[in-house]
Structure 1
Amino acid sequence: MRFKDKVCLITGGTSGIGQAVCLRLGAEGGQVIVLGRDKIDGAETVRLITKAGGKAIFMACDLAKPRVISATVQKVLAKYQRIDVLVCDAAMMTFDPLLSLPLPQWDLLMLVNLRSLAQLTQLCLPHMPKGSAIVAVSSVHAHQTTANVVPYATSKGGLEAFVRGMSQELDRKQTRINAVAPGAVDTPMLWSNPNVKSGAEKIDKASVGTTEELAAAIAFMASSEASFVHGTTLVVDGGRLAQL
């Protein structure tokens, strides 16, 4: 029970990797706050956690809206007075060549994928006790990418730079910050990718990871077992990058 009585705030908690993280931390004793936009999906995540004997609540939060983020964190702190674990998983992708991409789409993606991480870090850090942890979910696209996803790859590269930089501003014995970079994982984001659908991005189904495998890695990075891991990115891709 690595997260017994710890307050765990997870963005993107209504589906995919984020939902799997919620279930894992809930199973390990955490008080899970599921953040997402869809109330029905959020209620389902909470149901799964509580059915298994865990504790969870859902809070609707659109990460493209900074004022909503601020209000949501205030609600969490009013209820629990602290945040022990922050997992930033929510993200969006675009699938247009840069020359065809409306810049407002670039701005929206950066709000969701990168600015929200900075804002949540600012808001949560003053209320994160000794032994707390931040885990930001990156992507192998930060290291090796494909055409037509430049904003996404850029945001994930920026996310990893943010983690490295913030680690220099934090005392790891107080709050650690790290990233986890998934490869191909069996999520709606993967299979809805037009590059995957068209075959432009080749995916070997035998090498696709599960959300549970990613949740296990994220839970480790958020736990006290990783107390000497700080300011780095754990690549969890089944060896994909090593084969390139």
Structure 2
Amino acid sequence: MQHRVVLVTGGLGGIGMAVAHAFAGEGARLLLIDRRGDDGTARSALLAAGAADVAAVACDVQDEAAIAAVVESALSRFGRLDVVVNVAGAMIYKPIAELDAADWRRLLDINFVSAALFTGHALRLMQPGGCVINVASVHARRTSALVAPYAAAKAAMVSLTRSAAIEGKPLGIRVNAILPGAIETPMLRESPNIASGAEVIDPADLGQPEDIAALARFLASDAAGFITGEDIVADGGRMGRL
């Protein structure tokens, strides 16, 4: 990963920052995209961790023009783009009967459309050897009440991964998805079921952001050069039990 240019959406969040640190440790050049700007803390920490260069850009991933501007800034600063990790995500907790069109559009835009747009830029701009990693969710396969837009968006992200892998193969660009289970992040703790105690997660099933980051780093590496179009569950085996 040394000197490769890695773009991470949701880069200042729990999983996004862990991903950034994983690539920083191998000397990558990083562009972090997040709805909030960095006050310099994240950049300093990543440079200290070994990153060759770090830029953090505030961007609303619901804005197509803003996404295009971010990609252009990456090319202007770094001259290339090697890895895109789509982490940006959001959830709301409502029954389907109470969801309006704005709810659906917002969740689809943040969780799916933004990833589709960044993937499109990647397929246009990356050289052979590039890769895209979409951080989806186990909700793409099995879900629960109150999170229908999130689950639908993550399922669409997995489908996007397969299609992009097919179109990326002649270009030498790989595309894979990671489906995290319960990961210790603020998003998990905001779940009303978790907060109320209605859903209890066995500590053995609770992962850390670094667990997802390690998988992302592997999928971006040459060691994963024969892996594309896959959606890989990382949930500590929680979904595999009867």
Counterpart CA distance in 1 for 2:170 and 2:42 is 31
Moved over 4 A (4+): none
Deviation at 1:172, TM superposition (A): 6.4
CA contact 1:64–1:116 (8 Å) conserved in 2? yes
Question: Which residue is equivalent to 1:175?
Answer: 173
Q: Deviations along 1:81-124, whole A, 9 cap, x unmatched?
A: 21100000010011000111122011011111111111111122
**What residue number does 1:160 align with?**
158
Following the alignment from structure 2 to structure 1, what is the Cα–Cα distance between the partners of residues 197 and 91?
17
CA deviations on 1:207-237 (whole Å, 9 max, x unpaired) are 2011111100111111111000010111110
Equivalent residue in structure 2 for 1:28, among 26, 29, 54? 26
Q: Does the 8 Å CA contact 1:7/1:31 hold for their aligned counterparts?
A: yes
Identical columns (%): 37
Q: Give how far 1:202 is off.
A: 2.9
Give the gaps of 5 or more residues in structure 1: none
Q: 1:222 to 1:172 in 2, by over 3 A?
A: farther
Matches within 5 A, 1:1-244: 3-40=1-38, 43-54=40-51, 55-171=53-169, 174-244=172-242
Contact (CA 8 Å) 1:138, 1:180: kept in 2 or not?
yes
Unaligned runs of 5+ in 2: none
Letter in 2 for 1:46: R
TM-score of the pair, normalised by structure 1: 0.95
Contact 1:214 1:236 in 2 (8 A): yes
CA contact (8 A) 1:77 1:83 kept: yes
Q: What SS does the corresponding residue of 1:22 show, helix, strand or coil?
A: helix
Residue correspondences, number: 241
Q: CA RMSD in A?
A: 1.4
What SS does structure 2 have at the residue aligned with 1:235?
A: strand
